């Protein structure tokens, strides 16, 4: 994990938007970073803090929507459902199950993603 991603994940709750508590500058930055950021927020989906879970969910939603649009062109809602239909207020066991499915999907997406040339 890059230093930038680590910093954003650690401070995901730092600057909530006044009208949308589920979004922070950090959430938006993590979505722009993409797959590495989505993988990095997976532990936050299991946080005891509801707002942390909600913000991590927004990152996963944003990144997975972008990947589906760019790579598969598939139906994002179906993908969300197949990967456990994660919801930040779900029971801990359901959240844990979804996180495991998303981990596998993110690994697969990263393997399929075009490599950036240095």
pLDDT tens sequence across 37-52: 999 999 999 999 999 9
> Which pLDDT does position 102 carry in this prediction?
97
* Total number of domains in the chain: 1
Q: For residue 29, tell me if it sits in a domain.
A: yes
pLDDT at residue 74, as a whole number: 67
The confidence score (pLDDT) of residue 115 equals: 66
CB of 41 within 8 A of CB of 59? yes
pLDDT in tens, 9-19: 999 999 999 99
Residue 38 lies in a domain: yes
Residue 75 forms part of a structural domain: yes
**pLDDT for 71:** 60
pLDDT for the residue numbered 78:
87
C-alpha 5/C-alpha 3 separation (Å) is 6
For residue 16, the 8-state DSSP code is B
Mean pLDDT of the chain: 91
Q: How many helices (H) and strands (E) does the chain have?
A: 6, 0
pLDDT at 68: 83
Q: Is the pLDDT of residue 116 over 90?
A: no
Quote the domain boundaries for residue 33.
3-112
- Is 118 part of a structural domain of the chain? no
Whole-structure pTM value: 0.90
């Amino acid at each position: 994990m890059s230093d930038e991603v680590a910093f954003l994940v650690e401070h995901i709750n730092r600057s909530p938007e006044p009208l949308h508590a589920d979004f922070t500058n950090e959430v938006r930055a993590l979505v722009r970073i993409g797959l590495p950021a989505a993988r990095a927020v997976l532990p936050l989906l299991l946080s005891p803090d509801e707002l942390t879970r909600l913000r991590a969910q927004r990152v996963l939603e944003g990144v997975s929507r972008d990947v589906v649009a760019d790579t598969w062109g598939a139906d994002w809602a179906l993908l969300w459902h197949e990967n456990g239909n994660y919801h930040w207020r779900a029971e801990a066991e359901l959240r844990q199950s979804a996180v495991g499915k998303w981990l596998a999907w993110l690994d697969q997406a990263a393997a399929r993603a075009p490599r950036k040339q240095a």
